[in-house]
Structure 1
Amino acid sequence: MGSSRSSILCFLMLCASFLVPTSCHSYSHGALFIFGDSFYDAGNNIYLNTSNTSLAKLSIFPYGETYFKHPTGRVSDGRLIPDFIAEFAKLPLIPPYLQPGNHQFTNGVNFASGGAGALVENNQGPNMEKQLRKKLGASEVKTLLSTAVYMFSIGSNDYLVPFITNSTLLQSYSKKEYVKMVIGNITTVIQEIYKIGGRKFGLSKLIPWGCFPFSRELKLSSTGGSGCMEEFTLLAKLHNRALLEALKELKKSQLKGYTYSIFDAYTVATAIFNNPSKYGFEEVKWHAVAAVH
């Protein structure tokens, strides 16, 4: 098994192990609450009222064709990392929060939404505790939240938006200052979840976004140049280093019982970009669709 596959497997197993029963209360089987962007979105964007035409593409093939045999709203032709973690933990697939008729929260909820970011400007999600209290009641929510795992895939859009809009954020701050704001919002959310009982967190590093097919095409259309958008990749590297340090600092603080796992998506994606055929891809530079089979 290659190092990239080993990295993915270790992350899946560790996050799933967080859900192993530790007591005899009614929610000892654990729950999975998922936050983030299109990497973890299980279909919330299908149900959003939006004029964004790019979202309509999620309801046609090849999305969903590998595993589900129909489009599900996932930006993938198969399952996503949270789907595999749920499977490892013997949980059903965690449904998108906005899915009509979804009123079962004891296994968790997927709040991830394509386009979401950590900064206020970039599509924040709903208040989880407030929504759950309406469904389950305060006492049951407290028990549920204390045994759950909280997964995050967030940050990519915060660095992407300045490149595809008229935003002046990157001109108003240095790269390190901007990254610090993004990381600060992520750790603030972790601490807020901790306050309501959350103890187990799974996070992901950013991929080398500058070499992603979308970024290559963006560079080609905007400058006529080929190759990777190095500035975008640099931001991803700065983010990944800052995220790891921030998680370590939280561990050193007085957050009793706080624990985390971090998935090195940067290394995995780099391995795929450098040797696509090893991982079942023919093309990763221009028109490839990233998918989990």
Structure 2
Amino acid sequence: MGSSRSSILCFLMLCASFLVPTSCHSYSHGALFIFGDSFYDAGNNIYLNTSNTSLAKLSIFPYGETYFKHPTGRVSDGRLIPDFIAEFAKLPLIPPYLQPGNHQFTNGVNFASGGAGALVENNQGPIMGLKTQLRNFKNMEKQLRKKLGASEVKTLLSTAVYMFSIGSNDYLVPFITNSTLLQSYSKKEYVKMVIGNITTVIQEIYKIGGRKFGLSKLIPWGCFPFSRELKLSSTGGSGCMEEFTLLAKLHNRALLEALKELKKSQLKGYTYSIFDAYTVATAIFNNPSKYGFEEVKWHAVAAVH
């Protein structure tokens, strides 16, 4: 098995192992709460504003065709990483928070929204940014307390896993929208703001009861087809947009350090796992045929993730 596949498998197994029951309590079977962007969005966006052209496309093929046999709102033709982790943990697929009629919550909820960023300024259009996702989580927690009682909810939240895939749009959106936000700070200052918003949300969830967190590094966005085409249209040059890749590297280093600092801050019971998506994506770009791809450089990508 290749190193990239091993990395994915290890992350799946580790997150799933977080969900192993620790007692015979009725709600200690584990739950999965998911935050992030389109890498993790299981369909929230299609309930926000289906008149939006980009969102409406999620309701037609090829989305969903390889596994669900119908579009589900996932930006994929099949399952997402949280779907596989739920399967590993023997949980049902975790439903979107906005899905009509979903009021159970005891197996977890997916709050992710395609296009979401950690910074409020980078949330474009009818989407739920990270701050909104946190607010939805708090609202859900209040509903659960009314339904189950404080003791039951404390156990449920403390044994749950909280997954995050967030940050990509904070670096992509300023380039796409010609925003001056990124230029208003040094790269390190800007990354610090993004990471600060992510860790603030983690700390807020910890205060409510969360203890186990799984996060993902950013992929080398500068070499994505979208970035290559953006460079071609703006400068006439070919190849990767190195500024994107540099920001991803800075983000990944800062994220790892921030998670370590939280560990040092004596948050009792706090633990985390981090998925090295950067290394996995780089391996695919460098050797696409090994992973079943014929071309990874020039196919257009129209939507923000």
Counterpart position of 1:207: 219
- Distance in 2 separating the partners of 1:35 and 1:241: 20
Q: Which residue of 1 aligns with 2:278?
A: 266
Contact 2:226/2:301, CA 8 A, preserved across alignment: no
Q: How far, CA to CA, are the matches of 1:164 and 1:225 in structure 2?
A: 17
CA deviations over 1:64-98 (Å, ceiling 9, x no partner): 11111111111111110000000000000001111
Shift of 1:132: 4.3
Query: CA 1:292–1:115 in 2, change beyond 3 Å: closer, same or farther?
Result: closer
Range with bigger deviation, 75-84 or 50-59: 50-59
Shift of 1:165: 0.8
Assess, with a 3 A threshold, how the Cα gap between structure 1 residues 5 and 86 changes in structure 2: closer, same or farther: same
The alpha carbon displacement at 1:135 in A equals 5.6
The question of whether the paired residues in 1 share the 8 Å contact of 2:174 and 2:181 is answered with yes
Q: Deviations over 1:142-177 (max 9, x none)?
A: 221111000000000011111011311111100000
Per-residue CA deviations over 1:86-114 (Å, capped at 9, x if unaligned) read 00000000011111111120000000000
CA contact 2:122–2:174 (8 Å) conserved in 1: no
> In structure 2, how many angstroms separate the alpha carbons of the residues matched to 1:55 and 1:96?
15
- The answer to whether the 8 A contact 1:8-1:263 is kept is yes
Q: 1:111 to 1:131 in 2, by over 3 A?
A: farther
CA distance in 2, matches of 1:267, 1:290: 24
Q: Which structure 2 residue ranges, 5 or more long, are not aligned?
A: 127-138
- Residue in structure 1 matching 2:160, options 117, 134, 148: 148
Count of aligned positions? 293
Flag the 1:85–1:197 CA change in 2: closer, same or farther, 3 A: same
**8 A Cα contact 1:41 1:114, kept in partner:** yes
Write out per-residue CA displacement over residues 6-62 of structure 1, whole angstroms, 9 at most, x where no aligned residue.
000000000000000011212111000000000000011110126542122211111
How far apart are the structure 2 equivalents of 1:9 and 1:142? Answer: 30
Greater alpha carbon shift after TM alignment, 199-208 vs 57-66: 57-66
Output the aligned Cα RMSD: 2.7
Summarize the Cα distance change of 1:197–1:237 in structure 2 as closer, same or farther, 3 Å threshold.
same
Report the 3-state secondary structure (helix = DSSP H, G, I; strand = E; otherwise coil) of the residue aligned with 1:124: coil
Report the Cα distance in structure 2 between the residues aligned to 1:131 and 1:230, rounded to whole angstroms: 46
Change (3 A) 1:102 1:230: same
TM-score under structure 1 normalisation? Answer: 0.94
Q: Could you give the per-residue CA deviations for residues 173-219 of structure 1, whole angstroms, max 9, x where no partner exists?
A: 00000000000011111111111111000000000001111111222
* Equivalent residues of 1:91, 1:107 under 8 A apart: yes
Relative to structure 2, which stretch is displaced further, 86-95 or 210-219?
Answer: 210-219
Mapped to 2, the partners of 1:92 and 1:245 lie a distance apart of 33
Q: Indicate how the Cα distance of structure 1 residues 172 and 288 shifts in structure 2: closer, same or farther if over 3 A, else same.
A: closer
Closer, same or farther in 2 for the Cα pair 1:147/1:290, shift >3 Å? Answer: farther
> Conserved in 1, the CA contact under 8 Å of 2:119 and 2:197?
yes
Superposition deviation, residue 223 in structure 1: 2.2
Call closer, same or farther: CA 1:214–1:292 in 2, change over 3 Å.
Answer: closer
Cα distance change on mapping 1:232 and 1:136 into 2, 3 Å: farther
Per-residue deviation at 1:122? 3.1
How many angstroms apart in 2 are the aligned matches of 1:133 and 1:116? Answer: 28
C-alpha change, 1:156 and 1:58, in structure 2 (3 Å) is: same
Preserved contact between residue 118 and residue 124 of structure 1 (Cα < 8 Å): no
Q: Indicate whether 1:169 and 2:181 are aligned.
A: yes
CA distance in 2, matches of 1:197, 1:59: 36
Q: Are residues 221 and 36 of structure 1, via their aligned partners in 2, closer, same or farther at CA, if it must alter by over 3 Å?
A: same
Q: Which residue of 2 aligns with 1:59?
A: 59
| Superposed displacement of residue 120, structure 1 | 2.0
SS of the residue 1:62 aligns to: coil
Q: Which runs of 5+ in 1 are unaligned?
A: none
Q: Tell me if structure 2 keeps the 8 A contact 1:32–1:151.
A: yes
Change beyond 3 A, Cα 1:210–1:165: same
Contact 2:64 2:77 in 1 (8 A): yes
Taking structure 2 as the reference length, what is the TM-score of the superposition? Answer: 0.90
